[in-house]
Chains A and B, each alone.
Chain A
Amino acid sequence: MSEPVTPTRLIVSSDSILRLPRHIKLRHDAGRGRWIILAPERVFEPDETSVEVLKLCDGERTVGAIALQLAEQYQAPVDVITTDVIEMLQDLADKGVLK
């Protein structure tokens, strides 16, 4: 056995910098006219907003910066957007879609 490494849950905050691991594929499914996330033995169908957020998870921007950008784009209160984005990303992180 390899030396034990204790894995921990990724907790998403506005300081988190996230990206999709290599084995997670955000892809447009042309045949069905939708976006999909391909994951081990799973296909997720993210909604429009999630797709937009995921495209911004580039391993450089913080979650806070992503929320700010969206808040400006949609002229929405940044604290509300931040809460929503964190909740959405936490759910995806728990499904193994982000790192």
Chain B
Amino acid sequence: MSESTVLETKTGEFVAEVDPSCARAPVGLLAELTHRCPLQCPYCSNPVDLERVNTELSTEDWKRVMREAGQLGILQIHLSGGEPTARRDLEDIVEEAAKSGLYTNLITAGVLLKRERLEKLRDLGLDHVQLSIQDVNAENADRIAAYKGGMDKKNDVAKWVKELDMPLTINAPLHRQNIDNLPAIIDYSVKVGAGRLEVAHIQYYAWALKNRAALMPTREAFMKTAEIVNEAKERLKGILVIDFVVPDYYAKYPKPCMGGWGRGIINVTPSGKVLPCHAAESLPGLEFDNVRDRALADIWLNGQAFEKYRGTDWMKEPCRSCPRKEIDFGGCRCQAFALTGDARNTDPACSLSPMHEEWAAKATEESHTTDVPEFIYRRMGAAAATSTD
């Protein structure tokens, strides 16, 4: 699909427009404060084996992580989950992050928030709120999240964020069961006063991979979203910044997953494991250090899991001799492993991968199925996998 190369796409969840030569320290830290979440979205990016509450880091642990992050030169902290507001000590963590000079971003589903708490978080230094919506059709949104009344609460949260004079991003994961509402999602974002909208086609790992046949849009439907977004970007210039994450199944080249392994983003799980990407635990042969045992900077610079796929030395062909190897870094290691059995292979999202045709054909077939399967909702134990904790 040659057209895909002309789309202005933002392919990482967190986009850092920085000179890569300066980026010895990570730019962003994704802090998964908890895997608890009242929502059960079937495309959740958390691992299928969710970490349990009794393994979570303490308040003091997280505060130390914030201080270490600031010292390491990390610029932005993304407080995520699960649902980060499920942690009662979120205030303490935000306060410490702000004191450590970090730009603080709360990534929330919103449904547990109260206005007073949001105001307190703001006063403690919270810089930005990213609010997820599952759709603008309340009934459909609540069905996707398996949470009644969610949309009403999100409307309240969006209103409070603006009343409290905070910047708001709406994050709308897109898939075949809400894709037709994209124009309404854009209108909604403008109406609630968001300055930024992230239209993110689902990336098919973990829970989303289990639900792929229920979520995968057709190529035609995807192309239409690209047109809609491009038109809206032009029309809403200076009003709404729109970031568009494409489904890599329909791309010509893979996305530079995490902006390159161990290059710009560091992830800490609820139990303190430090990962190069939030799905890295799906890969074999990696040793994950824990912030309880080792300094964040040391883990980043020397940790085995970070060194394993950092740079380009680990690559096989066709990546090794590819002129794009430092543009997309061979795509996603987790996807390469899940689909080819070897994490060093080219991500099948790349048209140069020998598996690309077969893989894209499968997606196309699933996207056209009329027999859409029921969701496998994200909940503890739903994956029928043995928990490791």
Contacts and interface: CB of A to CB of B under 8 A. Distances in A.
| A and B held together in a complex | yes
A23 B241 contact: no
B281 interface: no
B17 A40 contact: no
Nearest to B159: A2
Contacts of B166: 23
A10 to B, nearest CB: 6
Given A10-B238, A44-B17, A93-B238, A23 B73 contact: no
Q: Dominant SS at the B interface? A: loop
Nearest to B237: A94
B167 A8 contact: no
B76 A41 contact: yes
Contacts of A5: 193
Interface stretch (A31-39, A49-57, A65-73, A75-83): A31-39
Contacts of B128: 23, 40-41
A8 B295 CA distance: 47
Number of chain B interface residues as a range: 35 or more
B241 A95 contact: yes
Contact of B22 (A2, A4, A32, A96): A32
A96 B159 contact: no
Interface string B140-175: 000000000000000100010011011101000000
Contact of A40 (B105, B165, B190, B239): B105
Contacts of B192: 1-2
B25 A31 contact: yes
Interface of A: 1-2, 4-5, 7-11, 21-23, 25, 29, 31-34, 36, 38, 40-45, 93-96
20 contacts: A1-B159, A2-B159, A2-B163, A2-B193, A7-B239, A23-B128, A23-B166, A31-B73, A36-B75, A40-B105, A40-B127, A40-B128, A41-B15, A41-B130, A42-B15, A43-B17, A93-B238, A94-B237, A94-B241, A96-B196
Interface of B: 14-19, 22-25, 27, 73, 75-76, 78, 103, 105, 127-128, 130, 155, 159, 162-163, 165-167, 169, 190-193, 195-196, 198, 237-241
